[in-house]
Every structure is written in C-alpha cells, then in structure tokens.
Structure 1
C-alpha cells in the first residue's frame, strides 16, 4: 500500500495530472483531499475519455473525466476482502480508509499479489530451489 498519497484537485488539467502521475510513477491519483475524496483519475480515464476522443489535455480538467464512483476498503480489511472487491468491480486500485473515513493510502492489485506470494512461501521456495538449499 502506498501511504504517501498525492491528491489532485478536480480543477487540475489532464496535462498536469498526467505529468504528476509520471513524476510519481503511479497510474492513478485520488481527487480531492484525504478528508474529502471526490473521485479518482486513472491512466485509463485519460486514455479512453480524453486521448481516444481527441480532446485537449490542456483544456479538459480532472473533474470532467474522473471516476466518481469510489470503491474503497478499510485499513482493517483482509487481503481477501480487498481482492474480492477488486475482482467483483474490475478494479486495479482501491483507496484505503481509516476508521473515520479518511483516505490513508492506495492499495493496488500488484501490492496484494506481491503480499500473497510472499505470504504463501512460493517465492521463498523458488529462491531456495534455485540456490540449491
């Protein structure tokens, strides 16, 4: 889970959001604040709702094309709960909320997959097998 979450405002241009995503090495940015999550803008939102339609990334704002239906998980939720929600809704990322509903992080499908692999011992067994121990 990424705990150092960078937010963008709905008034941010798509060009500015795309630069921020590139600088941060992320594929999505939450929109609003930790206390007021308004939506999420993803690389796919930009691709399908701006680029594919030939719109200007300097004229379109995040608020115009962001995903506003927000699915999230709580910090106390299990990996299985988060994975089930992501699978059911075809999501790649989930905002993580604390007990007060404040956004405290963003968990990705790759975060969960990596955690499950490490917990399962598959990686450790493969390394041991390859190293001959």
Structure 2
C-alpha cells in the first residue's frame, strides 16, 4: 500500500487534476480529502469523459468527469480480501481506510503483484499461494 495519497480538490479543473497526476506519476486521484471522498478521477475518465467528449479541460470541473463509485478496503484487511474486492468490482486500485473511515492509503493490483513476486520469488509460487495450493 502507498501511504502517500494526493487528492484532487472538488473545485479543481480536469486540467489541474491531470497536471497533478503527471507530476506525481499516478493514473488516478481521489477527489475530496481523507475524511470525505467524493469520487476518483482516472486517466481513463479524462480520456473518455473529457477528451472524447470534446470538453475543455481548463474549464471542466474534475467532479464532472470523475467516477463516483469509490471502492475501498480496510487497513487491516487480508490481501485476499482486497483482491476479492478488486475482482468483483473490476478495478485495479482501492482506497485504504482506517477504523474511522479516513483514507490512509492506496493499494493497487501492481502493489500486490510486486509484493507477491518479491515474497515468493516466482510467478508460479505467487499464483499457487493465491489459489491456496
């Protein structure tokens, strides 16, 4: 999990969100703050809901292009739980919330796969561990 979570503010434009995403080299930003998350804006959202629609990124509020359905797991959840949520919701990243519902991090499919490969050494071992073999 990455503990450094940058947020786009609800009043930001799509251009400001895209600029921040480029500066910190991420493919998504939660919109709002750690206590109140309004949505998530992804690079895909920007392409489909902004560029493909011919909207002006400098004047379009990020809240008009973000995904409203935000998925999360808990900081003390097992990795399998996070993977189950990702699979069932067909997402690649989850916000991580603490017991007070505040955002304390992000976990991505890439984070999990990297960790499994480091811990187990091979892809086959990692896959076997996931499937319980």
The residue that corresponds to 1:30 in the other structure is 30
Which structure 1 residue ranges, 5 or more long, are not aligned?
126-133
Structure 2 alignment gaps of length 5 or more: 126-133
Rounded to whole Å, the distance in 2 between the matches of 1:30 and 1:86 is 16
TM-score, normalised relative to structure 2: 0.88
1:110 paired with 2:103, answer no
Greater mean alpha carbon deviation, residues 66-75 or residues 113-122: 113-122
Structure-1 residue corresponding to 2:66: 66
- Whole-Å separation in 2 of the counterparts to 1:97 and 1:6: 14
Match of 2:120? 120
Shift of 1:76: 0.6
Distance 1:93 1:64 in 2: 21
Per-residue deviation, 1:116 = 1.6
Q: In 1, Cα distance between the equivalents of 2:118 and 2:10?
A: 37
Give the corresponding residue for 1:100: 100
Q: Distance in 2 between matches of 1:115 and 1:88?
A: 21
Q: RMSD in angstroms over aligned alpha carbons?
A: 1.4
Task: Give TM-score, length-normalised by structure 1.
Answer: 0.88
